[in-house]
Structure 1
Amino acid sequence: MTQTGPIERELRAMLERELAPERLEIANDSAKHHGHAGDDGSGESHFSILVESDRFEGLTRLERQRLVNRVLGDLPGQRIHALSVKALAPGESA
């Protein structure tokens, strides 16, 4: 079983609570950026998220991104240096 840190657990909880996703994949990409700008040494500075939720139905890509940003509040930019988001409506392919 892969260990998850507190920020990753918080990301998951917030997204599950607010978006009730059918699918949620969170990848911690921090190791790929070790020693680069934004690496704070926590091991939780860079993430990629794939989230599939009916909340994205009828929304543009930009509206979906804004919705995810609202859900996550100050995590991106404050406690997470980089966040890649792929937000899909049910039935859309990644």
Structure 2
Amino acid sequence: MVWIVEKKVFHHFFDLGFETVRIPIRVKFEFEVKKGILVPGSISKSILYNLPALERHYPNLDPARLQQTIEEAADNKIQKYLQECGYLKA
């Protein structure tokens, strides 16, 4: 059993209707691996991005919608990373 901690910076493209904003997000995630395979349910993550700056530049921004789309994007990027590294069962 091994715990792996990864730190990655991903870019999320958020559509505001009149403009698409590229948002850098820093994701730290850790997970357990046994015999080279991810242990289900062992992934934990923390996500950082500059919400105050986004709210200053885009006052009509919906923070709840932004948070939801960033969570989904981070989950997709993590799954892609795990698949590329061979930690997921085929």
Query: Into which bin does the TM-score normalised by the smaller protein fall?
Result: 0.3 to 0.5
Between structure 1 and structure 2, the one with the greater Rg is 2
Which structure carries more helix by proportion?
1
Q: Structure 2-normalised TM-score?
A: 0.37
- Structure of higher RCO (CA pairs closer than 8 Å, 6+ residues apart): 1
Q: Structure 1-normalised TM-score?
A: 0.36
